[in-house]
Structures are given as C-alpha cells and as structure tokens.
Amino acid sequence: MDLKPGSRWKSAVCDAQLVVVRPPRTAGELQCGGATVLPIDDAATPSGAVSADFAEGVAIGKRYVDEDSGLEVLGAKAGQGSLAFNGAAMTVKGAKPLPASD
Amino acid sequence: MRTPLLLDIAADACPERLALGGSGDGMDFHAYRARASRVAAWLLSEGKANTAFLGMNGDALPVLLFASGMAGTPFVPLNYRLADADLNKLVARSAPAVLIADDDMLRRIAPVDGVELVARSRFEAEFMTGGARAKVDLPEAENDIAVLLFTSGTTGDPKAAVLRHANLTSYVMATVEFLGADEDQAALVSVPSYHIAGISAILTSAYGGRRIVYLPAFTAEDWVRVAAAEAITHAMVVPTMLDRILDVMVETGETLPALRALSYGGGKMPEPVIARALAMLPQVDFVNAYGLTETSSTIALLGADDHRAAFASDDPAIRRRIASVGQPLPSIELEIRREDGSPCGPGEHGEIHVRGEQVSGEYLHRKAIADDGWFATNDAGWLDDGGYLFVEGRLDDVIVRGGENISPGEIEDVLRGFDDIADCAVLGIPCVQWGEKVVAVIVSRSGAPDTVGMAATIKARLRSTKTPEQWFVRSELPYNETGKLLRRVLKAELAEEVCAG
C-alpha cells in the first residue's frame, strides 16, 4: 500500500476514516481494528469484527503516530477499531492546539 | 497533500454544518464542496493555467480558492487598491488566466491576450445561487502551486510569492485541530483576499470546521454590526482596525458578548490600543500573530495567557513581552542571525531566519530559500531569554502603514520627477494610528516647495495611503562615504522631531 501524504483510507471493520499526514520511512501495512485498511473509494462496507487487541477506537481530529517508521495518521472519522502499523499499535500524538491566528 | 483535501474531509465528516455566510441562510460544507467541484470542472474546461480574482470579500472567494486547487490552477488574488496601471501589469502577469472580477471593477481592466474576463455576477449566477447540485468527481490535479500572491517588495515591483499545496496544508495541519471548532463558532473575515491572512483564514476555517462570515471590505461600523448580528466568536484584525472597532463599540454601547478570540497582526500594535481592548473585552482571548506571505502566514504567536501575564507583571522583562510576537510555532525553527550568518545570542539584534514545511521562501522563477531550507525574512528582530520574539520591522525600509506595505522607492520616484526636488527620501515614522506613517524629506531647489501640489500628484499617480502626511525640508540629506543614503539616521532624527512636535 502506498501510504503517501494526503492519501485517504477507511477501516475494513469499523466506521473509521483516515488521512496519512506523514508517510512511513519503511514499507508496511496500516491496520485498523486488526485488519488492513482499504482505500477510501473501495466499495466494500465494513464487515467482520474489530479485534479485541485493537479496539480502543479512532477519534476524529486526533493524530496517531508510529514512532519507529514516522508514520502519522489523522482520524478523519471516528470508529471502534484502533490503529496499528505492521501489527504495532500506534499512539495518540499529544499536541496542544494553538489558538486561532488567521 | 493538497488544499482541497482539507475541505473534502470536513465535508465528509460534517456535511450539514454551516461553512459560509449567515446563520440563517448560510452554505453548509456539503454544498461548499459541491459548488467548488462544479467551478473546478468549469475551470478545467476553460483550460487556462491560472485562476485570478479581483474583487471584494464574499462566499465566491473561498469557493474559487478550493476550486482552483481541485482544478490544479494556481489561485491569483489581485489587489483592487492598486492604481489601474499597476493593476493591469499584474493582470498581464497572471496570464493565461480566467479572471473573475467584480462587475464594477471590470472597466478598470485593459484587455490582454490570454486573460478571459468573467463578471462576478455571471459567475455567481452560474455557481453560487439556486439549490446545490451534486459534486463532480474530478481526477486529482498535478500542479503543486496552490496560490500566487503578489507582495510589495523592496524594489517596489511586486514579486509573485509561490505557495505550494504542501506549504499551506502543512501550516494548517500543524496549527489547527481538525473540526476543533464548536458548531456555534463563526469567524468574521475582513482582511482582503490578496493578503496571506485572507487565504489562510479560508483553509484553517474549513479544516477546523468554523463558519466564515465575510465583510465585503472593512469598516468599523459594519464590523461591529455584523459581529453582533452573527454572534461572531473569532476574528483577525490589523492594529488600525482594532482601535476603530473599539471607538464604534463605545459609540454604540455594543459589548459583543459572543466574541471569544481576537487575533491581530500585520504591523505593530500600539500598547495603549491593546490595553484598551483588554479592558473593554475582558471575555476575549487576544492573540498576536507574526508571519509573512512567504511563510504561509503565522510563524510566531503571543497567546492569551502571555497577554495577561505581561500586563499583570511588575517585572519589566515580562511586561515588555506585550510588545513581542510571542514564541515561534512548535512546528518551525527560528533563529536570529548576524550579518555574517552566525547565530545571535538572547537580546542580540539581527535578522530573523525561519525553516519549516510551511515556509515556501519562493517567488515565481526564483527560490529565496537556502539549500538547507532556511529562509531569511528580511525582518529585523531579537529573542529574549524566554524565547519571545521581538520584531523591529523590515531590514530594508519598506513602510508598513495600517498593515499595508509601502515601498518608499516608488514615492521617491514620483517626487524626483519635480524640477524643484534636488533630493528626497520617503520614510515611515512610528505613529499610533497606523503603526507607521509616510513622511517625505525633501531638498528644494527653489526653497519654497509646493508640497500640496506634490501630495496631490502622488495621490493621483499612486494612491492616498502612499501620500506623505508630513513634509520636512532640509538643505541636504545624510549619506555615508560610499554614497548610500543613511535612512536610519534620518529616521531617528525625524522620529525625535515628530515626537517633540
């Protein structure tokens, strides 16, 4: 899968939608709820179960990172599954929002 | 990453949220994207490289910006305040282009090859009115230039600053939380489209999920009236605007209870004005933002807590931070450097340099960014011990009057056209109302210069804001041994005279 910046993906097992903010330095698979994500325009609707190991959820507006590869993903729609890169759970990036300046 | 993605994901996540216009008759995110996509399809069918815009603020502007990104045609907003001759030079430089222009501005534009003029009324009838139709799916565009903004540079000939999609989206994603705004938030935008803040406001509002309400052009009366009627929560103003807004609030008794955040930038804010604003609007968070066109807007900001801490402090080092632009954004690097390029220590004055993904540092056909990514801002400044940035103005001598950059060179050129002028210099002198005001120092051959006539000529040839407000007659101007005018010496002398007078 080509996880290029701006590419959009959706979970195969829940309602989560994702945008790649930073690509990984190494090739690999983005997963949600334990299943490999699908391109946003894939016709498939979510099916199957969210893996109990990856069920902490994706929140809208939150950023998720995989420290090792540098992959960073934005939650564009919320879902029950949580994210992983090649099986390693991604973590929420704790960034304090800045005040509006424009 | 491309700018239309910002609108796309917002429209997918909250299609029914209001995005543009009044709370009663506004356009939701679904219609916003659908209209932009239909405009993009039309732009593609026109086949012109650029999409130019000459007009007042309104909902057509953000629709056009996103449509340009979808179509892959750089968006080129033009400054309607320019004199006709200067405006037409920029129109010619935007070719080949579709140029959407306000109906009452059409007659100002001289026909030029490759520029297809479209009246705004026609554009709005076609794309902005009637029920929203479905969006058109378009192939992802390739051109990575999002916006070309003409900036007034040192030479007086505007440079076309290049802002790439990657610069703008990096800025937005590093500074704004996706759909971080509550549904009741609304931003009042009164900066014009040809100013970087007018562009960035569109992008940050779409991504943040905040409704935009436009003022066609700024007047303090309209600003206060609309802010009250639309329960505006957020706005950006330049210093000159704020003082006048406060005056109108006093006159009308309006308190703007919904307002919670006001950012300001585009010039030095006089301390009495911000002090007055803090007292009159205690519920409002004030943010001072510093940025440049070439940096996709804000690179440093002084937040609400910084404002309060500065005003509450007895420590002069903290107190003076009210005059700073705060700290650099976490997503960029910022350094003050000496003329030889070495870094300055705290408190040491030098040139502000910046590096980061949002920094374009690029003009059409000319990169102004170093190979290692650092961009020299041409602004003078210094950092205090706490990393607060103090900006002192342009290293060169561009005058910043009420947020507008004025190049002394072109005013001096007009002056030199008078037989009576033996020598002249045009400078900006600090002033409470405008940040800086334009003054002329002249050496007259006759000894009895007709400054009224000269002022009238400048006003007619350039514009009123470029007309010197004060005139000083000298027997000679100061030069160094290599024949360079010592502007700073002159400026310091005049600042004293103006204050004393």
Pairing of strands B97-101, B115-119: parallel
Interface probe for B, chosen from A7, A64, A65, A101 (most Cβ of B below 10 Å), is: A101
* Confidence class for position B151, pLDDT limits 50, 70, 90: confident
Taking a C-beta distance cutoff of 8 angstroms, is the pair B187, B201 a contact?
Answer: yes
Encoded amino acid at B331, one letter: S
Give the one of A5, A75, A100 whose C-beta lies nearest to B261's C-beta: A100
- The reply to whether B178 touches chain A by the CB within 8 Å rule is yes
Find the closest chain A residue to B236 by CA distance. Answer: A102
Nearest CA-CA distance, residue B389 and chain A, Å: 16
CB–CB of A98 and B2 under 8 A?
no
Give the one of A74, A76, A98 whose C-beta lies nearest to B175's C-beta: A98
Closest-CA residue to B85 (of B27, B31, B157): B157
What is the arithmetic mean of pLDDT over B27-39? Answer: 98
Phi first, then psi: what are they for B83, rounded to 5°?
-65, 155
- Residue B370 belongs to some domain of the structure: yes
Q: Are residues B359 and B403 in the same domain?
A: no
**Number of domains, chain B:** 2
Give the one of B177, B179, B289 whose C-beta lies nearest to A101's C-beta: B289
**Number of domains, chain A:** 1
Residues in chain A: 102
- Residue B199 belongs to some domain of the structure: no
* Distance from C-alpha of B163 to C-alpha of B149, rounded to nearest angstrom: 8
Nearest CA-CA distance, residue B261 and chain A, Å: 8
What is the arithmetic mean of pLDDT over B373-387? Answer: 93
Q: Flag whether the ipTM exceeds 0.85.
A: yes
Q: Are residues B351 and B424 in the same domain?
A: no
- Residue B63 belongs to some domain of the structure: no
Among candidate residues B379, B394, B409, the one where a domain is terminated: B394
- Residue B134 belongs to some domain of the structure: no
- The reply to whether B206 touches chain A by the CB within 8 Å rule is no
Among candidate residues B367, B394, B421, the one where a domain is terminated: B394
* High-pLDDT (> 70) share of chain B, %: 96
Q: B55: helix, coil or strand?
A: coil
Distances from the Cα of B180 to the Cα of A31, B29, B202, angstroms = 25, 15, 15
CB–CB of B187 and A100 under 8 A?
yes
Phi-psi region of B341 (alpha: psi -120 to 50; beta: other; left: phi over 0): left
The per-residue DSSP string of B301-358 comes to EE-HHHHHHHHH---HHHHGGGGS--EE-TTSEEEEE-TTSPBPPTT--EEEEEESTT
Residues of A with Cβ-Cβ distance to B188 under 8 angstroms: none
Q: Are residues B380 and B427 in the same domain?
A: no
- The reply to whether A61 touches chain B by the CB within 8 Å rule is yes
**What does DSSP assign to residue B360?**
-
Q: B463: helix, coil or strand?
A: coil
Q: Where are the beta strands (DSSP E) in B402-469?
A: 404-406, 421-431, 435-444
Mean pLDDT of chain B: 92
On whether the pTM is more than 0.90, the answer is: no
Residue B251 tokens read as: 């006159």
- Residue A41 belongs to some domain of the structure: yes
Query: How many CB atoms within 10 Å of residue B483?
Result: 6
How many angstroms from the chain centroid is the CA of residue B449?
36
- The reply to whether A98 touches chain B by the CB within 8 Å rule is yes
CATH number at residue B460: 3.30.300.30
Query: How many CB atoms within 10 Å of residue B257?
Result: 10
pLDDT of residue B163: 98
* Distance from C-alpha of B196 to C-alpha of B157, rounded to nearest angstrom: 18
CB–CB of B287 and A101 under 8 A?
yes
Taking a C-beta distance cutoff of 8 angstroms, is the pair B455, B468 a contact?
Answer: yes
CATH number at residue B359: 2.30.38.10
Interface probe for A, chosen from B65, B164, B178, B305 (most Cβ of A below 10 Å), is: B178
Among candidate residues B345, B377, B394, the one where a domain is terminated: B394
Residue B457 tokens read as: 């000529």
* High-pLDDT (> 90) share of chain A, %: 86
Q: Are residues B407 and B482 in the same domain?
A: yes
B441 is in which domain, residue-wise? 399-500
Is the model's pLDDT at A39 over the cut of 50? yes
Nearest CA-CA distance, residue B407 and chain A, Å: 25
**What does DSSP assign to residue B104?**
G
- The reply to whether B329 touches chain A by the CB within 8 Å rule is yes
pLDDT of residue B267: 66
- The reply to whether B299 touches chain A by the CB within 8 Å rule is no
A73 is in which domain, residue-wise? 8-92
Phi first, then psi: what are they for B251, rounded to 5°?
-65, -40
Encoded amino acid at B157, one letter: D
* Confidence class for position B501, pLDDT limits 50, 70, 90: very low
Phi-psi region of B156 (alpha: psi -120 to 50; beta: other; left: phi over 0): left
pLDDT digits (tens, 9 = 90+) for B89-123: 999 999 999 999 999 999 999 999 999 999 999 99
* Confidence class for position B499, pLDDT limits 50, 70, 90: low
Taking a C-beta distance cutoff of 8 angstroms, is the pair A94, A67 a contact?
Answer: no
What is the arithmetic mean of pLDDT over B352-358? Answer: 97
- The reply to whether B197 touches chain A by the CB within 8 Å rule is yes
pLDDT of residue B481: 47
- The reply to whether B251 touches chain A by the CB within 8 Å rule is no
